[in-house]
Structure 1
Amino acid sequence: MANYTVEEKDSFIVLGIGTELKSDYTDYAGISKEKSDFWQAVKQDGRLDTLKAVATNDYIFAVNEAVNNKMMHYAGVMTNASLPEASRVIQFPKGEYLVVKGEAETAEALSNMLTGIAFGQVLPEAKGFAYVGGPNTMVEMGQRNGFIFGEFWIPIVKK
């Protein structure tokens, strides 16, 4: 099984700028392209820099959340500030989280890899816990030796 840990986290808030993903939830290639296009847009038009300017740390969050039966994806940061550009304040609950760590050459590659490990390997094989919904996030934490490193956080419950 993939390398992962289960960690207790305090509740936290991520301020996000989002987009609705229109691809079917089983269309991995379509979802990937929509996310990639979205991240390119928020980097180019300055919205990501606006978020980073109010962040309480250097982490960048790529959040997935179902809202009103829509699949949403957000670029976000931890902050107590509000911005007119932001579309959602995302509340992550206090509790246990599945944490999968990794590094890759790009944030997109890291997100795809960690998502695949978490949802494709760890959760299907997990015996003692389950994901029951709620927001999940890939956290881009920094760079070292030319690679971006980060973690995927998924709230879980004990079975």
Structure 2
Amino acid sequence: MANYTIEEKDSFTVLGFGTELKSHYTDFVGINKEKADFWNEVKEDGRLDELKAVASNDYIFVVNEAVNNKMMHYAGVMTEKTLPEATRVIQFPKGEYVVVKGEAQTDLELSNTLTGMAFGQALAEATDYAYVGGPNTAVIMGEQNGLLYGEMWIPVVRK
């Protein structure tokens, strides 16, 4: 049983740098490697620091979104500002979200854990709600006791 809540959220905007995931959507090993390579790249080349400089809070957003039949993955921050070289401005709708909380040693482990719990358990258990697509995000919120903590936010509608 997944530990989740249904929460009402105001609309918000995430500015991000992204990459297209080329692995088949069932190739979790391939997808996770592509995501890890991308995150290493945005940390090393300074793009993540550029995003943090315009962020409205300290949260880091790990966004997944289907765009024009492509699986896209973004490193982002919540902001109303923009950067000319940013890949995408991602609009999250006002509404209800399945929210799953978790902790992990690394940002990638946290994102993967939250994603697995949310899509593998919470959505199946939230029988009065349906995920109808749109962007979803793991939110890395901070660190405590040597672990990163955060939440997965998936927009849903009542059935």
TM-score by length of 1: 0.98
- The equivalent residue for 2:29 is 29
- The equivalent residue for 1:104 is 104
| Residue 32 (structure 2) pairs with residue 5 (structure 1) | no
TM-superposition CA deviations, 1:52-110 (whole Å, max 9, x none): 00000000000000001100000000111111220100000000000000111111111
- Measure, in 1, the Cα distance between the counterparts of 2:105 and 2:35: 17
- Measure, in 1, the Cα distance between the counterparts of 2:44 and 2:21: 19
Moved over 2 A (4+): none
Query: Quick check: 1:47–1:85 contact (8 Å CA) kept in 2?
Result: no
- The equivalent residue for 2:18 is 18
- Measure, in 1, the Cα distance between the counterparts of 2:110 and 2:85: 26
- The equivalent residue for 2:47 is 47
Q: CA deviation at 1:126?
A: 2.6
Secondary structure at the residue paired with 2:57? Answer: coil
Structure 2 counterparts to residues 59-138 of structure 1, below 5 A: 59-138=59-138
Counterpart of 2:36, as a letter, is S
- Measure, in 2, the Cα distance between the counterparts of 1:78 and 1:124: 28
Q: Which runs of 5+ in 1 are unaligned?
A: none
- Measure, in 1, the Cα distance between the counterparts of 2:42 and 2:74: 10
Alignment coverage as a number of residue pairs: 159
- The equivalent residue for 2:156 is 156
Counterpart of 2:79, as a letter, is T
| Residue 139 (structure 2) pairs with residue 139 (structure 1) | yes
Structural RMSD (CA)? 0.7
TM-score by length of 2: 0.98
Q: Which runs of 5+ in 2 are unaligned?
A: none
Query: Quick check: 1:43–1:49 contact (8 Å CA) kept in 2?
Result: yes
- Measure, in 1, the Cα distance between the counterparts of 2:125 and 2:28: 20
Q: CA deviation at 1:6?
A: 0.3
Query: Quick check: 1:99–1:153 contact (8 Å CA) kept in 2?
Result: yes
Counterpart of 1:34, as a letter, is E
Secondary structure at the residue paired with 1:56? Answer: coil
- Measure, in 1, the Cα distance between the counterparts of 2:106 and 2:2: 20
